[in-house]
Each structure stands twice: as structure tokens, then as C-alpha cells.
Amino acid sequence: MLTTTEISKVLTLEDYMLNPPDKTEWVDGQLVEKNGMAAKQGRIQSKLSYYWRSFMLSSNQGGEVYTETPCRTVGRGRCPDVSYITPELLTQFGVNFTVLPQSFPLIAEIVSPTDQAEEVFTKVREYLESGCQEVWLVFPESQWVLIITQQQQRLFNLGEVASTQIVLPGFSISVDELLA
């Protein structure tokens, strides 16, 4: 997850869905620029994307893993840090969609020290209300991984192993390895 800055360009959500400007989200009628990720958060984003993709391939579950690819939430356009789409949704929407017209089934946001808690959890709620089944919030500074579904929230600390709850079943990673 990144710190955001409002930019002045006015777009409708429909315009955003057709051609989303790079590194932006569409929130409450405003185009919001996602500011650059620090090295630590970028490294974790890259690792999680790699691990999800490697597991997806080795377990023959299919689908695809994306980074910062736009999706539509309840009345907004968002770009999750890491996301996984199932083979069924790839069949439905194809591999060359511009903006996924719903949330990805599995999403991760890497939380930066400057992110505001209310904004982070509002985004989680949006994802879950728009087709996402599982959200991973990774807190590099606090050294936590919080996994949220409609039914539960699970917090994983250093020394523990975080595992998927619903989507991409069987995937697990030690918090230490992810945050190292």
C-alpha cells in the first residue's frame, strides 16, 4: 500500500475503467496518485508476488499473479500491491483486461508507515464487498501479517507461519522469511 496524493485531473469512474492512468486509483470522484513505495515495501511486494506465483505453478492451481493492476471495488478503482486471480475468472474476463471489473479473489497490501489505519481498513472492506475473499495486510515495521476474510481475522507474528485461508489453498510462508 502506498501513500496517496490527490491530483487535479477529473475523470468519471467509467473513464478510469477504460484507461486508468499509471500509478493511480479512483476514489470518491478523484483521481489519486499512488506515491512511490520505499525499498523495504517494494522488496516485500516482489517476494510475495514471487512466492504466490511459484506456489500457483508448482501446485498446478492455475490463475495468475499481478502487481499494482487495477480492479473495480464498490464505486472505486483500486490497484492492490499484489493480487491473484483464479483460472475461472481468467476464463471469464481474459488475460488482457484493462481493469478487472471486480476485486481480485486474493489481495495483499504492503502497509507503509505513512498509511492511515482508517484508509487501510476502508480499502480492505471495499475489496471484501467487491468479490475479494481474502486480504493480506503486511506490516513491515510492526512485523505482522494480518489476514482478513469475511468470517475471520488472523494475525501472524515473527516466528509464525502465515497461510492462505480460502484462496490459493495450501500456500504458507514464515513471517520471518517474508519480512527479511
The average confidence (pLDDT) of the chain is 91
Residue 64 predicted with pLDDT over 80: yes
Domain, as residue range, for 166: 38-179
The reply to whether 33 falls in a domain is no
The reply to whether 6 falls in a domain is no
Whole-angstrom distance, CA of residue 175 vs CA of residue 180: 8
Reported as a pLDDT band with limits 50, 70 and 90, residue 56 is very high
* Residue whose C-alpha cell is 506456489: 55
Residue 52 predicted with pLDDT over 70: yes
**Counted domains in the chain:** 1
Contact 56, 63 (CB under 8 A): yes
Whole-angstrom distance, CA of residue 108 vs CA of residue 120: 11
Residue 8 predicted with pLDDT over 50: no
Give the other-Cβ count within 10 Å of 37's Cβ.
18
Phi first, then psi, for residue 11 (nearest 5°) are -140, 150
pTM for this entry: 0.87
The reply to whether 87 falls in a domain is yes
The reply to whether 13 falls in a domain is no
Q: State the pLDDT at residue 36.
A: 65
The reply to whether 25 falls in a domain is no
pLDDT digits (tens, 9 = 90+) for 91-141: 999 999 999 999 999 999 999 988 899 999 999 999 999 999 999 999 999
The reply to whether 78 falls in a domain is yes
The reply to whether 15 falls in a domain is no
DSSP 32-92: EEEPPPPHHHHHHHHHHHHHHHHHHHHTT---EEEES--EEETTEEE--SEEEE-HHHHHH
Q: State the pLDDT at residue 9.
A: 57
Say which range, 1-5, 21-25, 60-64, 81-85, has the weakest mean pLDDT: 1-5
The reply to whether 111 falls in a domain is yes
CATH code: domain of residue 46: 3.90.1570.10
